[in-house]
C-alpha cells in the first residue's frame, strides 16, 4: 500500500501545478485586458481633447478672418491674420483634476498660422469650357521653372486636369480610364506626379474649388513673375518691396509701381483674397496632431470650412 502513495502524491502535485499555471494565465490575461482597456480609453480621451482644442483654434482663426473682412481693407501680410501663433503651453487646460497642480497634467502645446491660399497660382484656372487655356498653361510652365521642375510637368497637369473635368462637364458617365478629379495637391499623384515634384509645386501652386486670381499683396516674387506676363524677377521683387512699405489698395496702385508697360488683368490678379489655409499643431506629450483646414470667406462675413486634413505622429521634442 505504501508503494502507491508516492505516485498518488506526484499526480496530485502535477495537477496542482497545472491548476496554478491555468490560474496564473487567466489572471495575467485579465490584467492585460484591463491594461489594454485603460490604454484605449486614454488614447480616445486624448484624441477627443486634441480635436476640441484644434476646433477651438479653427474658430479663433475664423473670427480673425471675419474681423479682417469687416474692416474692408485689402488682404495683405501686414494684417493680424498673417501673424502666426507661436507654440504655447496649454497644459493647464488639460488637467484632469482641477484640485491638483496643473503640472501633473499632460504637457500640451499649441501652434497655428493662417496662410493666404490665393498667394499661389490656382490650377483650376487651367481648364475652362472643356479645354486648356493657352495663356494659363504658359503661366504654369513659367511657375514650374521657378519651382525647379521641368516645364513638361505643366503640360502633364493640363492634360490630366482636362481629362478629369470633361466627363463632369458633359454630364456623362466617367470613363474608366479617365483620372479622378483632384481635390487637393496631394491628389496630383493620380495624374502621375511623384511626391517630390508635388512638394516643389506646392510652393507656387494651389488647388482651390473654383478659379481665383493671385493676390498681389501676398504672392511671392516667383509667383508674381509667373502669372504676370512680361514681368521679370527684378520687377517682381520691386513690387514686393513696395507692398512691404504700403500694401496695394487697388490694382491701380500696383500698376503705378510697375509702370504703363505692364497691364494688370482683374481676372488674373487682385488685392483681396477669399480662400485661406488655417493650420494648427497640437503636441500632447510625445503625440502630435496637425490639422490643415481650407476656409472660404464669403459675403456677409461668413467663413466656411471647405476641406480638412488631420495627420497624427510622434515628436522627439523634450
**Secondary structure (DSSP) of 142-199:** HHHHHHTS-THHHHHHHHHHHHHHHHHHHTPPPPTTSPPPPSSGGGGGGGT--HHHHH
Q: Are residues 106 and 85 in the same domain?
A: yes
Average pLDDT over all residues of the chain: 83
3-state secondary structure of 205: strand
Q: What percent of the chain has pLDDT over 90?
A: 43
For residue 226, is it within any domain?
Answer: yes
Measured CA to CA in angstroms, residue 191 lies from 158, 162, 219 at distances of 10, 11, 26
The answer to whether residues 113 and 125 belong to one domain is no
| Helical H segments across the chain, by residue range | 5-71, 134-147, 152-170, 195-201, 221-227, 233-245, 251-258
Confirm whether 26 is domain-assigned: no
Which residue carries 495627420 as its cell? Answer: 311
pLDDT tier, 285 (very low <50, low <70, confident <90, very high otherwise):
confident
Given this model, what pLDDT does residue 179 score?
A: 72
pLDDT of residue 211: 94
Q: In the numeric block, which cell numbers belong to residue 129?
A: 469650357
Residues 143 and 174 in one domain: yes
**Does a structural domain hold residue 36?**
no
Distance CA 14, CA 6 (A): 12
Quick one: pLDDT at residue 9?
Answer: 72
Which sign does the torsion angle of CA 151, 155, 156, 158 carry? positive
Q: Is residue 43 part of a domain?
A: no
Range of 106-115, 181-190, 211-220 with top mean pLDDT: 211-220
Q: Is residue 18 situated within a structural domain?
A: no
pLDDT value of residue 188: 92
Is 114 within 8 Å of 135 (Cβ atoms)?
Answer: no
Which domain, by its residues, includes 303?
Answer: 53-119+274-314
The residue that leads in pLDDT, 300 or 96, is: 300
Please identify, among 181, 203, 225, the residue that sits at the C-terminal boundary of a domain: 203
Residues 227 and 196 in one domain: no
Which of the residue ranges 28-32, 168-172, 284-288 has the most confident prediction, judged by mean pLDDT? 28-32
Same domain? For 142 and 110 the reply is no
Residue 120, burial from CB neighbour count under 10 angstroms (0-12, 13-18, 19+)? buried
One domain, residues 130 and 188: yes
Whole-structure pTM value: 0.79
The more confidently predicted of residues 126 and 311 is 126
Of the ranges 34-38, 44-48, 134-138, the best mean pLDDT one: 134-138
Identify whether residues 195 and 257 lie together within a single domain: no
Helices 152-170 and 134-147 cross at an angle (nearest 10°) of 140
| Mean pLDDT, residues 187-202 | 92
Q: Cα–Cα distance between 111 and 114 in angstroms, integer?
A: 11
From 157, 180, 203, the end of a domain falls on 203
CATH at 80 = 3.30.1300.30
Least confident span in 32-46, 105-119, 154-168, 258-272: 32-46
Q: Domain tally for the chain?
A: 3
Distance CA 42, CA 52 (A): 15
Closest C-alpha among 267, 194, 285 to residue 229 = 267
Same domain, 125 and 172: yes
Tell whether 58 and 84 lie within a shared domain: yes
Q: Compute CA distances 55 → 98, 112, 206, 280, whole Å.
A: 23, 12, 24, 9
Of the candidates 203, 236, 251, which is a domain's last residue?
203
Specify the pLDDT at position 303: 92
Amino acid at each position: 500500500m505504501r508503494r502507491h502513495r508516492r505516485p498518488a502524491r506526484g499526480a496530485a502535485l502535477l495537477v496542482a501545478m497545472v491548476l496554478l499555471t491555468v490560474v496564473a494565465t487567466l489572471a495575467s490575461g485579465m490584467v492585460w485586458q484591463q491594461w489594454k482597456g485603460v490604454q484605449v480609453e486614454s488614447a480616445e480621451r486624448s484624441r477627443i481633447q486634441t480635436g476640441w482644442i484644434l476646433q477651438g483654434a479653427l474658430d479663433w482663426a475664423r473670427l480673425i478672418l471675419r474681423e479682417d473682412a469687416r474692416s474692408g481693407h485689402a488682404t495683405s501680410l501686414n494684417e493680424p491674420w498673417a501673424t502666426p501663433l507661436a507654440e504655447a503651453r496649454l497644459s493647464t487646460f488639460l488637467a484632469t483634476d482641477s484640485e491638483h497642480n496643473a503640472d501633473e497634467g499632460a504637457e500640451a502645446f499649441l501652434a497655428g498660422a493662417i496662410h493666404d491660399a490665393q498667394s499661389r497660382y490656382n490650377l483650376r484656372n487651367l481648364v475652362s469650357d472643356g479645354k486648356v487655356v493657352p495663356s494659363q498653361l504658359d503661366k504654369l510652365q513659367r511657375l514650374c521653372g521657378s519651382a525647379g521642375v521641368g516645364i513638361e510637368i505643366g503640360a502633364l497637369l493640363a492634360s490630366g486636369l482636362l481629362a478629369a473635368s470633361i466627363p463632369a462637364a458633359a454630364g456623362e458617365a466617367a470613363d474608366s480610364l479617365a483620372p479622378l478629379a483632384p481635390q487637393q495637391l496631394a491628389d496630383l499623384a493620380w495624374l502621375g506626379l511623384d511626391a517630390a515634384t508635388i512638394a516643389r509645386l506646392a510652393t507656387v501652386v494651389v488647388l482651390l474649388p473654383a478659379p481665383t486670381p493671385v493676390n498681389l499683396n501676398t504672392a511671392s516674387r516667383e509667383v508674381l513673375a509667373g502669372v504676370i506676363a512680361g514681368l521679370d524677377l527684378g520687377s517682381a521683387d520691386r513690387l514686393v518691396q513696395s507692398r512691404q512699405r504700403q500694401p496695394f489698395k487697388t490694382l491701380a496702385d500696383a500698376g503705378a509701381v510697375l509702370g504703363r508697360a505692364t497691364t494688370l488683368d482683374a481676372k488674373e490678379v487682385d488685392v483681396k483674397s477669399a480662400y485661406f489655409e488655417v493650420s494648427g499643431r497640437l503636441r500632447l506629450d510625445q503625440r502630435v496632431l496637425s490639422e490643415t483646414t481650407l476656409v472660404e470667406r464669403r459675403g456677409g462675413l461668413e467663413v466656411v470650412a471647405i476641406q480638412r486634413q488631420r495627420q497624427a505622429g510622434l515628436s522627439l521634442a523634450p
